[in-house]
Amino acid sequence: MKEVKLLKGNEAIAEAAIRYGVDGYFGYPITPQSEIMETLMAQHPWDTTGMVVLQAESETASINMVYGGAGCGKKVMTSSSSPGMSLMQEGLSYIAGAELPCVVINVVRGGPGLGTIQPAQSDYFQSVKGGGHGDYKLIVLAPSSVQEMADFVPLAFELAFKYRNPALILSDGMIGQMMEKVTLPPYQPRWTEQEIEQLHPWATTGKKAHRSKNVITSLELLSDEQERHNQKLQAKYQQMQATEVRYETFSCEDADYLLIAYGSSARVCQKAVEIARENGLKVGLLRPITLFPFPTEAIHKLAQQVKGILTVEMSAGQMVEDVRLAVEGKTPVAHFGRFGGIIPSPGEVVDAIKQQFIKG
Amino acid sequence: MTTNDIVKPENLVYAKTPVLSDAVMHYCPGCSHGVVHKLVAEVIEDLQIQEQTIGIAPVGCAVFAYNYLEIDWQEAAHGRAPALATAVKRLHPHKYVFTYQGDGDLAAIGTAETIHACNRGENIVIIFINNGIYGMTGGQMAPTTLEGMKASTCPSGRNHERDGFPLKMSDLLALLPGTCYVTRQSVHTPGNVRKAKKAITQAFNNQKAQKGTSVVEIVSSCNSGWKMSPVQANKWMEEHMFQQYPLGDLKNI
C-alpha cells in the first residue's frame, strides 16, 4: 500500500531505503544530511526488515564497509555531505574498479574546505568526472524534490546492479532539508541468500563445492589485462550514455532562450521560466536528471533552436563546461551562479538572461 | 620396495590441505607468509568452514593471498580490511570472516579502522603479520620498525626523535574491551608453528562463540627487506624483534 507523508528530503531517503529492502547502511554524521542515519536509527529496521544500520568511525570506514557489503551482493548504501565525500573518493575508486554495485548520497554543502553547511552544487566535477583516481564514472542522479529523493533510491540501486557500478544521488542541502509531500514506495522484502547467489554469482557468499572461489578485487598487475579491464569499464559507460540518459524539459517547444539547471537550481529556474514568459521572453528549461550520463544529445539539439543558453548552478560554473561541449559553439553559452550557500532567486535568473543575451 | 608401494593412503602422515591452492607462491624464500597461509588454510579445513569463510586481503606482500586459499575473498584498499570485514560479518553473521594484514596496513594507514573494528568487538579474526618493514614497496620504514633498525627511508636507522617509536599495536588492541583474544606468535621453528596454529584455531573458535575480536599477531622475518639470509633473519628476529614484541598471549578471556 502506498503511504503519503510530509518529510524532509533526508528522511525520505531513509524511509525509501527501508521499504526498498536495503540490507545495510553505513554512515558518519555530517550536516546537512545527518537525518538520514538518525531516521534509520529511530526506525530500527533491524527489528523489521533485518536491515543493518551502523555508525562508522569516518567516511573512509563507511565507504569501505559499503565495499565489503557490496562484495557480498547485498544492497548497501552510505550518505554524506561534501567534506565527507572527499574522504570517500578512495573507496569509490576501488568500488568502481572492482565493479561493485552500491548507492551513495551526497547532500552537497558549500566548499572548499569546511566551507559552509548551506546548500551548494559545487561537487559536480567530483561527482561526474570520477572523483578518485583512475578512469571511472559514477552513475549520477540529481533529484529536485523530496519525492525524487524517495524515488531515486530504488532507481539508483536498479542502475547500480544493472551495471555493477556505484550510483550517486547528488542532492544538496536544500532538497535534503526541505519538507514536501512524498508518496513512499510499498515494502518489498530483502533478497534471500539463495536469491543473491542466483542473481549475483560473483558475490562472496562463501565458496561452495560446485563453484570456483569468488574474488572481489580491483588489482591486475599485467598491463594487457588492466587495459582490457579498463576497456570493459569504458564500454559500460558508453552503454550508460546510450541508454540511461534522463532529463525533463519545460516550455522548450517555442523557446528562444534555454536555461539548463539540475536539483535545487532547476526548481528556481522553473519559476524563472514563468516570470520571463510573463515578461514576454520565451524561455525554456532543460533539467538533467542524470548528470552522468549527461543529456548531451538533447542539449545539442536544442542549441540549434535557441539564441542563447544559460546554465544556473550553485557553483562557480561546473556543469556549464559539459553544456559547452554539448553545444559545440552552435549558440552562446553563459553561466549564472551563486555560491557559499546562497540560493539564487528566480528574479536574478531572469535578470541574468537579459544581461547575457538581450543587451540594451 | 618401490615408491608406489609406499604411496598408499594408509601410509599418509601429512598432506597439503585442499584449502591451499596449487598456485606457486610469489613470496621470497625465507618469508613467513607461506607458512601462515598454510596454517590458516589448515585451520579452515580442520574446522570444516571452507564454504562459510570469507577472507579480506590487504595491500602489501599478502595482497595476492586470494590466489593461495580456496575460499571467497575480497581485496581491500590499503588499511581498510577491518572496515570491509565489519560489513561482511554484520551482513553474514553466521559466516566466518578474517582479515590478513601486514604492519604497514594494520598499524599505519589502517590504524583507525583496526582500532574501531576491535573497539566495536566485531566478531572477526585479524591475522597480523609484523615484520617491522614494508616488504612489497621495497623495504621502507614501518610503524613497527625497531629503533636503530635500517630501512630505505631511515638508512641510518630508526631514530625516535625523528621517526617516533615502534608501535606495539597488539598491546594497544588488548586494552580494548571489544577484543577477547590478543596473542603474539611466530612461525620460525616447528614448535612455534604448532603454537601459532593453535592460536589461529582458537581465534576462529572465538568467532564461532561470538566472543568478540581475536587478533593473532605473527612476528615475522623479512629477510629481503632486512637484507639478510633467511637463517640470519630468524636469528636477528629472536635477538631483537622478540625483545620489543615478546611472544605469548596479551589477552585471553
The chain A residue lying nearest B64, using CA atoms, is A219
Banded pLDDT at A304 (limits 50, 70, 90): very high
Query: Hey, of B45, B80, B91, which one would you mutate to test binding to chain A, going by the most A CBs within 10 A of its CB?
Result: B91
**Residue A99 belongs to a domain:** yes
Task: Answer whether B90 sits within 8 Å of A52, measured CB to CB.
Answer: yes
Contact call for residues B19 and B174 (beta carbons, < 8 A): no
Domain that holds residue A87: 3-193
| Residues A277, A184 within the same domain | no
Q: Residue A271: which residues within 8 A CB-CB, separation 6 or more? A: A346
| Residues A162, A13 within the same domain | yes
Q: CA nearest A199: which of A191, A190, A189?
A: A191
Contact call for residues B55 and A35 (beta carbons, < 8 A): no
- What is chain A's mean pLDDT, rounded? 97
**Residue B97 belongs to a domain:** yes
| Residues A91, A164 within the same domain | yes
Task: Answer whether B66 sits within 8 Å of A217, measured CB to CB.
Answer: yes
**Residue A276 belongs to a domain:** yes
Q: What is the DSSP string of A298-340?
A: HHHHHHTT-SEEEEEESSSSSHHHHHHHHHTTSS-EEEEE--S
| Residues A29, A111 within the same domain | yes
User: What's the domain count of chain B?
Assistant: 1
| Residues A256, A322 within the same domain | yes
CATH number at residue A89: 3.40.50.970
**Residue B56 belongs to a domain:** yes
**Residue A221 belongs to a domain:** no
Task: Answer whether B80 sits within 8 Å of A64, measured CB to CB.
Answer: yes
| Residues A267, A333 within the same domain | yes
Facing residue for A207 by CB, picked from B63, B70, B91: B70
Maximum C-alpha span of chain B = 67
| Chain B stretch 90-129, residues whose beta carbon is closer than 8 A to a beta carbon of chain A | 90-92, 95, 112-113, 116
Facing residue for B83 by CB, picked from A64, A72, A214: A64
Beta strand pairing call for A283-288 and A257-260: parallel
Crossing angle (nearest 10°) for helices A59-71 and A82-97 = 30
- In chain A, which residues touch B (CB < 8 A)? 23-24, 26, 52, 54, 56-58, 60-62, 64-69, 71-72, 74, 76, 90-91, 94, 98, 204-209, 213-219
Query: Hey, of A23, A52, A63, A65, which one would you mutate to test binding to chain B, going by the most B CBs within 10 A of its CB?
Result: A65
Residues of B in contact with A222 (CB under 8 A): none
Each residue's pLDDT, cut to its tens digit, for chain B (253 residues) gives 888 888 888 888 899 999 999 999 999 999 999 999 999 999 999 999 999 999 999 999 999 999 999 999 999 999 999 999 999 999 999 999 999 999 999 999 999 999 999 999 999 999 999 999 999 999 999 999 999 999 999 999 999 999 999 999 999 999 999 999 999 999 999 999 999 999 999 999 999 999 999 999 999 999 999 999 999 999 999 999 999 999 999 999 9
Q: Is B74 on the interface with A (CB under 8 A)?
A: yes
Facing residue for A61 by CB, picked from B54, B66, B112: B112
Residues of B in contact with A219 (CB under 8 A): 63, 75
Residues of A in contact with B92 (CB under 8 A): 72, 205-206
- In tens, the pLDDT along A228-246 reads 999 999 999 999 999 999 9
Domain that holds residue B47: 28-133+167-247
Facing residue for A213 by CB, picked from B63, B70, B90: B70
Q: What is the ipTM of this complex?
A: 0.96
CATH number at residue B217: 3.40.50.970
**Residue A227 belongs to a domain:** no
Shortest Cα–Cα distance, A224 to chain B (Å): 18
Alpha carbon separation from A35 to A104, A107, A184 (Å, rounded): 15, 11, 17
| Residues A49, A182 within the same domain | yes
Facing residue for A206 by CB, picked from B72, B80, B87: B72
| Residues A14, A139 within the same domain | yes
Residues of B in contact with A215 (CB under 8 A): 66, 72-75
**Residue B5 belongs to a domain:** no
pLDDT exceeds cutoff 80 at A360:
no
Shortest Cα–Cα distance, B233 to chain A (Å): 29
E-assigned strand segments in chain B = 53-57, 72-75, 96-102, 125-130, 133-134, 140-141, 179-186, 213-219, 248-252
**Residue B160 belongs to a domain:** no
**Residue B235 belongs to a domain:** yes
**Residue A209 belongs to a domain:** no
Please list the residues that pair with A27 across neighbouring strands: A55
Q: Using CA atoms, how far apart are residues B147 and B159, in angstroms rounded to an integer?
A: 6
| Residues A171, A276 within the same domain | no
**Residue B9 belongs to a domain:** no
Q: Is B23 on the interface with A (CB under 8 A)?
A: no
Task: Answer whether A65 sits within 8 Å of B54, measured CB to CB.
Answer: no
| Residues A48, A162 within the same domain | yes
- The pLDDT value given to residue B5: 85
- The pLDDT value given to residue B3: 86
The chain B residue lying nearest A202, using CA atoms, is B72
Q: Is B63 on the interface with A (CB under 8 A)?
A: yes
**Residue B18 belongs to a domain:** no
- Per-residue pLDDT, averaged over A139-163, amounts to 98
Contact call for residues A187 and B30 (beta carbons, < 8 A): no
**Residue B145 belongs to a domain:** no
CATH number at residue A265: 3.40.50.920
User: What's the domain count of chain A?
Assistant: 2
**B216 CB-contact burial (10 Å; exposed 0-12 / middle 13-18 / buried 19+):** buried
